[in-house]
A and B are shown apart, each in its own frame.
Chain A
Amino acid sequence: MNELEPDYDTEGVVKKFMFVNRKAPYGTIYALEILETVLISAAFDQDVSVVFMDDGVFQIKKGQDTKAINVKNFSPTYRALEGYDVEKLFVERESMEARGLAVDDFVVPVEVLSAEELGGLMDQQDVIITG
């Protein structure tokens, strides 16, 4: 037997993954890195939730046009998540309202949660990755 092979069966294991986005999209690399990690986890058929809170809500703001700053506009990629069966997208209400945003301002349909509801959802996860 190959020593590198695990002696247990990992086939079909599905864990609850939550990705918590807390950074604005272009000032740092966090948002893009988390998005890539979301796509990877989805490729492994995991149970994925994606949260946008604090400045992370700016990641899914409509109307981004990055031509003049010479950076790739990755906001359309959030719309592709549905195609990877990543459909649990959440926005924390207080973060959204503090920034003058409403659900109509986002490029994807999201469920708006209170801080308390979000905390409860976090409690149910197996893995939480924050950026």
Chain B
Amino acid sequence: MLHIVNKSPFERSALDSCLRVAPKGGAILLYEDGVYAACVETTVTDTLKAAAIEYSVFVLGPDLAARGIAPDRVIEGIEVVDYGGFVDLVEEHGPVQSWL
């Protein structure tokens, strides 16, 4: 299963719920305002660093660029993907759980 999260971790609890429920070893994609979770030096960085060890965590590049987040500001261990990569993740991991 692919878990996708599009809400800011500073405003909404979608990512917390995802990390609480999703079985370890699964795949999580951050997109839209969810990409703010992938940044270094924030109050949620430690949570995401831990998540990147327990899960395969991805972040959508076009949404990072739109928000002015440079690739070198993305937490190590989180992989940046493009739209094609998003499609590949869906294909590889099957059903999608969308944490709106």
Contacts and interface: CB of A to CB of B under 8 A. Distances in A.
Nearest to B39: A100
Nearest to A57: B10
A63 interface: yes
Query: Chain A: interface residue count, which band?
Result: 20 to 34
Contacts of B65: 64-68
Contact of A24 (B33, B39, B41): B33
Contact of B10 (A25, A68, A98): A98
Contacts, number: 66
Contact of B62 (A25, A61, A68): A68
A27 interface: yes
Given A55-B33, A99-B39, A100-B41, A61 B11 contact: no
Interface string A66-94: 11110101010000000000000000000
A100 B67 contact: no
A15 interface: no
Contact of A55 (B36, B39, B40, B69): B36
Per CB-CB distance, the 8 closest pairs between chain A and chain B, nearest first, are A100-B41, A68-B62, A27-B33, A63-B68, A64-B68, A61-B68, A66-B66, A100-B42
